[in-house]
């Protein structure tokens, strides 16, 4: 998984932008290795 400051999703390749727990992810059902995460706020304990 690539951790980036700003993620780029290519819809033509099947990428989807998903927000989970304040973080932004790119997931891809067609090609599961194409994953990205945008650095979000630090997790609180």
Segment 15-28 shows an average pLDDT of: 94
Q: What are the boundaries of each domain within the chain?
A: 2-38
Location of structure tokens 């290795």: 33
In this prediction, residue 43 carries a pLDDT of 79
In this prediction, residue 5 carries a pLDDT of 93
Segment 15-39 shows an average pLDDT of: 94
In this prediction, residue 38 carries a pLDDT of 95
- Indicate the pTM of the whole model: 0.81
Give a three-class secondary structure readout of the chain. Answer: CEEECCCCCCHHHCEEEEEECCEEEEEECCCCCCCEEECCCCCCC
């Amino acid at each position: 998984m690539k951790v980036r400051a700003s993620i780029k999703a290519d819809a033509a390749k099947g990428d989807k932008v998903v927000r989970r727990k304040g973080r932004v992810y790119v997931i891809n059902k067609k090609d599961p290795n194409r994953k990205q995460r945008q650095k979000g706020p630090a997790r609180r304990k």
